[in-house]
Amino acid sequence: MKQIEKTILLGHGSGGKMMHDLIENVFIKHFENSILSEQTDAAIVQAGSEKIAFTTDSFVIDPLFFPGGNIGKLAVCGTVNDLAVSGAEPLYLSVSFIIEEGFPFKSLEIIAESLAAEAKKAGVLIVTGDTKVVNKGKCDKLFINTSGIGLVRNDRTHITKALNIVPGDIIIINGTIGDHGISVLNARESFNFKTTIVSDCASLNHIIGEVLNKTQVKFMRDPTRGGVATVLNELAGKINLGIEIDESLLPVNNGVKAMCEILGFDPLHIANEGKVLIVAGKEYGPAIIEILKNNELGRNCAVIGRVVDDHRGKVVLRNETGGRRIIDSLSGDQLPRIC
Amino acid sequence: MKYVDEYRKKDLIISISEKLKAVSEKEMVIMEVCGGHTMAIHRFGLAALLPPNIHLISGPGCPVCVSSQHFIDMAMAYSKIPGIIITTYGDLIRVPGSSTSLEKERANGSDIRIIYSVLESLEIAKMNPEKKVVFLGIGFETTAPLTAAAVLQAKSEKITNFYVLSAHKVMPPVMKALVEEGVKIDGFIAPGHVTAITGTAIYNDLALVYKLGVVVAGFEPSDMMQAVLMLAVQIESGNPKVEIQYQRVVHNEGNLIAQRILNKVFDLRDDRWRGLGTIAQSGLKIRDEFSQFDAEKHFIIEIPESTEPKGCICGQILRGLKTPAECSLFGKKCTPADPVGACMVSGEGTCATYYKYRS
């Protein structure tokens, strides 16, 4: 016999369907307003004559240090990217620390250093913050929250809304998928796989800025928790069109492919922290690819699929053997805490 | 990727598909026993490449799916005992028991840890000497030798706080049970990795006594297609036998070391299968010699008889009698996010596979 779910499960935080339902049924219900209801990565709000993008994100990753970064670098990249994919120029960040009693100063110092270095790289200033220390066992070593604001030009406010997408538009990603989730998983679990998989954790505001300055983009989103599959499913639902992707065009590192084969995961469901999905008119494809290819953070970019006037609201993958299958959002929890 | 891409080549698969069409026009029902095979068939869209006279049905080879509700209820009861750490493979955590699941018990404070290898349980036991670590042993001849190895290691390292709750099962009795029950099957695609351990002799009865073809297959699309072709040739010629398609991994004698370890620690017993009832000599229990590691001997608990969830047809699906599409709960009340039956929980479950790859 099934019981009605009464408590929060880990799956409620996984970025997939369960979390979506939680947000709809609890948070949106109580906080309802027209800006929040857009459910975008960053809210776009009017402040005087300017349009400001405002976002917040909490980081609870385990382990704190992983190949390619640490919680400090991640805390900057995550928030900077949420602003950048909303079409904003990120400007200022806040940083809050919740620290468990007994946490080594040395680790905190390294994390603060990376935070500062990444903020400098992204060209944002950390202008305010907060520190709390809790009893041993009341949080897992260290949690960080960052919030950020940036300016949005008037001609870029459409990007979060996915307004003018039509069949034939193309979907681009700036590189290989699944690196972050798999590298963290490998660092955390005792697999003893010898791999060279490194998290893709990076601030994307400069590369995105270049694309926006030189071409036309209809929609962008960073495929973090829940992976590419979840972002594309949300988009397909929002625009009520179909999305088709080609497995053979998906850039996936061999190490990630192998780990996914062994563990039974789909790279499309694995988190990324330095990737952006771009939807644009077909005519802008070559120019966008050209810009991405010339940037360290876009070298392995690819057009991975297109918007179609078929199977509305669904994402379909054409596989290498000629078969087709529906790609769902992640349901429940696939991986341990990864961001 | 090496050792994968070669077996997924479209041209190769299409050429086998063409051969298959020419081999036989007989109506034939082929059961893929293993959940991994069910997944491969759907993931690569193989059903569309088969001629209309060949029908594939899914069998009872997903370890999570066949674990009885009684076993899940026992695991749940153990998880509520203070001082116990439950270690389990991830798939099991969301299987609904009679009233709750391990996932929900974990949210309520039970110490339940997902591991990827049973040997991690030993590490956890060593690091928590004041606690008792109970590993939920599920799976067939593939995972059972690993559990056996962990028991042997615990014994040699004198670890005294490690226990196994065994729901391990063996494959041949359930295959025979299905045939004896009258499920119409003309041939089996036998599980590649189980056979890599056991060797092929376990299927001899099926070919000799029941006159059914058995082909041991790998898990890539060209493996599966070739296995179907080999079975079709056998069925067409009326010459059932045991053959190995998966020759790069499986040998007739199997893995003798794994067999020795398995037999040293485990003994056969009658066992419950979800939806199939009790099947004679189909389960593995820990031998008395190793009873200090047998959770059932240490933690005596009474579990009320459990009933299958209402409307759930997992039992018939596991017997290949029905497909998920024929279940009134499928995709509505029963989804991977909120499963009713076990077949929807495991990544290798027939219902979860149908749900994931529906198109």
**CA dihedral of A30, A33, A37, A38, whole degrees rounded to 10:** -150
Say whether A332 and B107 touch across the interface (CB within 8 A): no
> What count of CB pairs under 8 Å joins A to B?
83
The arrangement of strands across the sheet holding A324-327 comes to A219-221, A277-280, A170-173, A302-308, A242-246, A315-318, A324-327
Residue A189: the pLDDT is: 75
Residue B2: the pLDDT is: 78
Residue B359: the pLDDT is: 53
Q: How far apart are CA A79 and CA A98, in angstroms?
A: 17
What superfamily in CATH does domain A40-156 come from? PurM-like, N-terminal domain (3.30.1330.10)
CA distance B340 to chain A (A): 7
CA distance B95 to chain A (A): 11
What is the DSSP track for B256-273? HHHHHHHHHHEEEEEEEE
Q: How far apart are CA B166 and CA B283, in angstroms?
A: 9
Reply yes or no on whether the pLDDT at A10 is more than 60. yes
Say whether B309 and A7 touch across the interface (CB within 8 A): no
pLDDT, one tens digit per residue, over A294-327 is 999 999 999 999 999 999 999 999 887 767 788 8
Q: Is the dihedral of CA A55, A60, A64, A69 positive or negative?
A: negative
Q: Does B100 touch chain A (CB under 8 A)?
A: yes
Q: Which residues make beta-bridge pairs with A327?
A: A315
Find, in chain B, the residue whose alpha carbon is nearest to that of A335: B90
Say whether B116 and A320 touch across the interface (CB within 8 A): no
Indicate which CATH number applies to the domain containing B108. 3.40.50.11740
Residue A337: the pLDDT is: 57
Asked whether residue B157 is domain-assigned, the answer is yes
Q: How many domains does chain B have?
A: 1
- The end-to-end CA distance of chain A, in Å, is 35
Strands B132-137 and B162-166: parallel
Cβ neighbours, 10 Å, residue B247? 10
Across the interface, which of B1, B336, B358 has its CB nearest the CB of A257?
Answer: B1
Asked whether residue B105 is domain-assigned, the answer is yes
Peptide bond into B60 cis (omega under 30): no
Which of these ranges, A4-8, A181-185, B85-89, has the smallest mean pLDDT? A4-8
Q: What are the sequence ranges of the domains in chain A?
A: 40-156, 170-327
Asked whether residue B88 is domain-assigned, the answer is yes
Find, in chain A, the residue whose alpha carbon is nearest to that of B49: A323
Reply yes or no on whether the pLDDT at A1 is more than 50. no
Q: How far apart are CA A228 and CA A329, in angstroms?
A: 9
Peptide bond into A63 cis (omega under 30): yes
The residue among B40, B105, B154 whose CA lies nearest residue A264 is B40
Reply yes or no on whether the pLDDT at A334 is more than 70. no
Say whether B103 and A10 touch across the interface (CB within 8 A): yes
Structure tokens at B270: 């009658």
Say whether B4 and A261 touch across the interface (CB within 8 A): yes
CA distance A116 to chain B (A): 35
Say whether B104 and A9 touch across the interface (CB within 8 A): yes
Q: How far apart are CA B289 and CA B151, in angstroms?
A: 11
Q: Which residue has the tokens 């039970």?
A: B110
Q: Is residue A264 within 8 Å of residue A328, measured between CB atoms?
A: no
The residue among B276, B356, B348, B279 whose CA lies nearest residue B89 is B348
Say whether A1 and B309 touch across the interface (CB within 8 A): yes
On average, the pLDDT of chain A sits at 92
Say whether B1 and A261 touch across the interface (CB within 8 A): yes
What SS3 class is residue A51? strand
Structure tokens at B147: 């559990």
Across the interface, which of B100, B107, B120 has its CB nearest the CB of A3?
Answer: B100
B window 208-227, beta carbon within 8 A of A = 221
* Residues shown for chain A: 339
The CATH topology of domain A170-327 is Phosphoribosyl-aminoimidazole Synthetase; Chain A, domain 2 (3.90.650)
Q: Does B4 touch chain A (CB under 8 A)?
A: yes
Q: Does B15 touch chain A (CB under 8 A)?
A: no
Q: How far apart are CA A133 and CA A102, in angstroms?
A: 10
Are both A40-156 and A170-327 of the same fold? no
Which chain B positions have a beta carbon within 8 Å of A258's beta carbon? 1
Say whether A332 and B336 touch across the interface (CB within 8 A): yes
Residue B66: the pLDDT is: 87
Strands A142-152 and A50-59: antiparallel
Find, in chain B, the residue whose alpha carbon is nearest to that of A261: B4
Q: Is residue A56 within 8 Å of residue A144, measured between CB atoms?
A: no
Q: How far apart are CA B349 and CA B62, in angstroms?
A: 6
Structure tokens at A50: 């300017």
Q: Does B300 touch chain A (CB under 8 A)?
A: no
Q: How far apart are CA B107 and CA A133, in angstroms?
A: 24
CA distance B309 to chain A (A): 5
A window 145-204, beta carbon within 8 A of B = 189-191
Find, in chain A, the residue whose alpha carbon is nearest to that of B10: A321
Find, in chain A, the residue whose alpha carbon is nearest to that of B115: A189
What is the DSSP track for A165-212? --TT-EEEESS-SSHHHHHHHHHHS---------------HHHHHHHH
Q: How far apart are CA B129 and CA B120, in angstroms?
A: 14
Q: Does B17 touch chain A (CB under 8 A)?
A: no
Say whether A5 and B108 touch across the interface (CB within 8 A): no
Residue A332: the pLDDT is: 61
Find, in chain A, the residue whose alpha carbon is nearest to that of B12: A321
Which chain B positions have a beta carbon within 8 Å of A257's beta carbon? 1, 4
Q: How far apart are CA A317 and CA A252, in angstroms?
A: 15
Q: Does B332 touch chain A (CB under 8 A)?
A: no
* Structural domain for B292, as ranges: 66-170+254-298
pLDDT, one tens digit per residue, over A47-92 is 999 999 999 999 999 999 999 999 999 999 999 999 999 999 999 9
Say whether A17 and B337 touch across the interface (CB within 8 A): yes
Mean pLDDT by 10 residues, chain B (359 residues): 83 92 93 90 86 92 86 93 94 83 90 91 96 96 96 97 97 92 93 96 95 96 96 96 97 97 97 89 97 95 82 86 90 85 81 79
